[in-house]
């Protein structure tokens, strides 16, 4: 059997987004626009280098001390946004509450391992990926309408090690593997 590489990261689960993500998936999901799996709504804080499929516990161990120093806090996701791109536009909800805590947590996590995040960190909850820009343009307004007044609030008391296979897709193949609790959890 071939050795499979995985994209691993540290995320915060936003389970309160499940209903919104389900509506979006029912309306726009396909091969050209891939909606986030409703079971895996999250905010990514950190991307690790490609690793083996069984390396999640090692990453969890690296971030355990950083997570244990953080007190639980609330995050509220609301407000439609996009990462515009002719190749792969992304629709998302912004973070309206908890930004400072997320930035502090991310800074601490980045000291635990090599961060492979290639862009400026913008805390967000991904709604859908436009695999084909023209098709995405055709559903852009639907996505904006669904996001409209949506607000997803969650108490954050842990981070999760989550990943997907190198040949997979983050919208459909992401798996939560290991929970790393915050202080007092």
Cα dihedral 101, 104, 108, 110 sign: positive
Q: Which residue has the tokens 């806090």?
A: 73
CATH number for the domain whose boundaries are 5-181 = 3.90.1140.10
Share of the chain above pLDDT 70, in %: 98
pTM recorded for the entire structure: 0.93
Question: In the Cβ-directed half-sphere of 50, how many Cα atoms lie within 13 Å?
Answer: 8
3-state helix, strand, coil in the chain (%, to 5): 30, 35, 35
Give mean pLDDT, residues 139-160: 96
Give yes or no for a contact between 39 and 6, defined as CB atoms under 8 angstroms apart. no
pLDDT at residue 87, rounded to an integer: 85
pLDDT, tens digit (0-9, with 9 covering 90-100), for 107-149: 999 999 888 877 889 999 999 999 998 999 999 999 999 999 9
pLDDT at residue 124, rounded to an integer: 97
Domain boundaries, the chain: 5-181
pLDDT, tens digit (0-9, with 9 covering 90-100), for 63-118: 999 999 999 999 999 999 999 888 889 999 999 999 999 999 999 999 998 888 77
Rounded Cα distance, 136 and 32, in Å = 7
């Amino acid at each position: 059997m071939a050795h499979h590489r995985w994209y691993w990261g540290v995320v915060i689960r936003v389970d309160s987004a499940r209903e919104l993500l389900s509506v979006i998936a029912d309306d726009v999901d396909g091969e050209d626009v891939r909606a986030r799996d409703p079971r895996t709504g999250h905010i990514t804080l950190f991307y690790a280098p490609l690793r083996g499929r069984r390396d999640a516990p090692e990453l969890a161990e690296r971030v355990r001390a950083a997570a244990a120093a953080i007190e639980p806090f609330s995050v509220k996701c609301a407000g439609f946004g996009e990462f515009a791109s002719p190749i792969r536009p992304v629709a998302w909800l912004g973070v309206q509450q908890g930004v400072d805590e997320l930035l502090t947590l991310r800074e601490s996590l980045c000291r635990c391992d090599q961060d492979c995040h290639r862009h400026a960190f913008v805390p967000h909850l991904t709604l859908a990926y436009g695999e084909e820009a023209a098709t995405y343009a055709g559903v852009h307004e639907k996505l904006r309408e669904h996001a409209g007044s949506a607000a997803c609030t969650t108490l954050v008391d842990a981070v999760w090690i989550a990943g997907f296979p190198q040949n997979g897709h983050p919208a459909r193949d992401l798996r939560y593997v290991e929970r790393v609790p915050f202080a007092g959890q």
